[in-house]
Structure 1
Amino acid sequence: MPTISSFYGILIRMYFADHAPPHFHAVYGETEALIDIRTLEVIEGGLPRRAMAFVLEWASMHRSELQEDWDLCAARKSPHPISPLD
Structure 2
Amino acid sequence: MPTLMRFANCKIAMYADDHQPPHFHIEGRGWRVLVEIETLRIRAGDARQADEAMAWAKDNTALLVESWNRLNRRS
TM-score under structure 2 length normalisation? 0.90
1:53: Cα distance to partner? 1.6
Ranges in structure 2 where 5+ consecutive residues have no aligned partner = none
RMSD (Å), alpha carbons: 1.3
TM-score under structure 1 length normalisation? 0.79
Q: Where in structure 2 are the equivalents of 1:22-41 lying within 5 Å?
A: 22-41=22-41
Q: Tell me the SS of whatever aligns to 1:66.
A: helix
Count of residue pairs the alignment pairs up: 74
1:43: Cα distance to partner? 0.7
Percent identical: 35
Q: Is the 8 A contact 2:10 2:50 kept in 1?
A: no
Is residue 53 of structure 2 the alignment partner of residue 55 of structure 1? yes
Distance 1:75 1:4 in 2: 18
Runs (4+) off by over 3 Å: none
Deviations 1:43-78 (A, max 9, x none): 11123x2x32212111010000000000001028xx
Q: Is the 8 A contact 2:25 2:34 kept in 1?
A: yes
